[in-house]
Amino acid sequence: MTAQAEKFNNLSGWRFSVAPMMDWTDRHCRAFHRVLSARARLYTEMVTTGAVLHGPRERLIGFDPAEHPVAIQLGGSDPGELAASARIAEGYGYAEVNLNVGCPSDRVQDGRFGACLMREPALVGECVAAMKAAVAIPVTVKCRIGVDDQDPEAALDALTASVRAAGVDGLVVHARKAWLQGLSPKENRDIPPLDYPRVHRLKAAHPDLPIAINGGLNSLAQAQAQLAHVDGVMLGRAAYAEPALLLGVDPEFFGTPAPVAGPFAAVEAYLPYIAARLGEGIRLHAMTRHMLGLFNGRPGARAFRRHLSTEGLRANAGLGVLREAVSFVSREMADAA
């Protein structure tokens, strides 16, 4: 293993990570996910360089040390601004800086970053080089296999060659094209066909470059199967919608026990964090909205979700609302159909 690969793989949790997701993987979500897995690597929502440099920094990128290992995902295309933002992120204590080269929203197209950077591999390389020169923590890239009418073979090879030359520490590949014209961001997560073999070929061509795969993985079994071909796996919506699956990550991917015994114990473990945030004036729903799928498959799960989605929105909602919601859930699983 090269020194570069060893540096990256030694960062705890990279074998399994939870994808950065706008409006979802905020600090409360990450605190909850950390209750479920001590080892999975967690990512912030994408934060633009403009927000890091000029916005309310603590609110946008501050985090609880208990979230570690946690990485920040940056959006931008100016090497100098990315370097400055990476330096700030390192000062905050992040374990990794990840550059977004995959988001297909109108916002990123207007700002010349995200997935549209797949068309500018040389610029992506300049951005990576600037960040590498600015920080000691790993600098990684999350990309697609191409955009619009690009040939995924040529597009992904060109991007990889450019970032490798710049010293990138790892690559996370969403195994779909992004269509910048004609598909919404939501449709871009489902409609373009998955092409896992393209990512596998990339890894075979670059055996010493750490490569993780993302896109369409809905279970730990599917994720585990990918590790025969790549170094890491990243789950997004499945991990968010079915958070209890994260209880299997530490045993299955790292050979260590789950930090809590099950979903009911996870609620208890999360309560002190919720109580502390309530004391800071944060509303209950900001935290419990990330828990709605925790009891999926159990009798009473619907009542749990309904109670949190209604009572949890009240301005004075406290821990009692969450405890009452949990009381609706059976501690016995329903019989298999």
Determine how many CB atoms are found less than 10 A away from the CB of residue 187. Answer: 12
Distance CA 243, CA 32 (A): 9
Structure tokens at 69: 């290992």
Q: Determine the Cα angle at 12 with ends 61 and 80, to 5°.
A: 40
Tell the residue number behind the tokens 């790292």, with chain if given: 254
Tell me which DSSP letter residue 336 carries: P
Q: Beta partners for 170? A: 140
Longest dimension (CA), the chain: 57
CA-wise closest residue to 114 among 123, 24, 56, 166: 123
Structure tokens at 9: 């793989």
Distance CA 190, CA 177 (A): 10
Residue ranges of the annotated binding site for FMN are 20-22, 73, 142, 174, 214-216, 236-237
Element (H, E) at 189: none
Distance CA 141, CA 214 (A): 12
Query: What does DSSP say about strands 16-18 and 41-48: parallel, antiparallel, or unpaired?
Result: parallel
SS3 318: coil
From 103, 116, 127, 143, active-site residue = 103
127 among known catalytic residues: no
Positive or negative: CA dihedral 8, 29, 25, 84: negative
Determine how many CB atoms are found less than 10 A away from the CB of residue 135. Answer: 20
Cα→Cα distances 24→28, 46, 60, 81, 297, Å: 9, 11, 13, 25, 22
CA-based radius of gyration for the chain: 20
Cis peptide before 69 (omega within 30 of 0): yes
Q: Mind telling me the catalytic residues?
A: 103
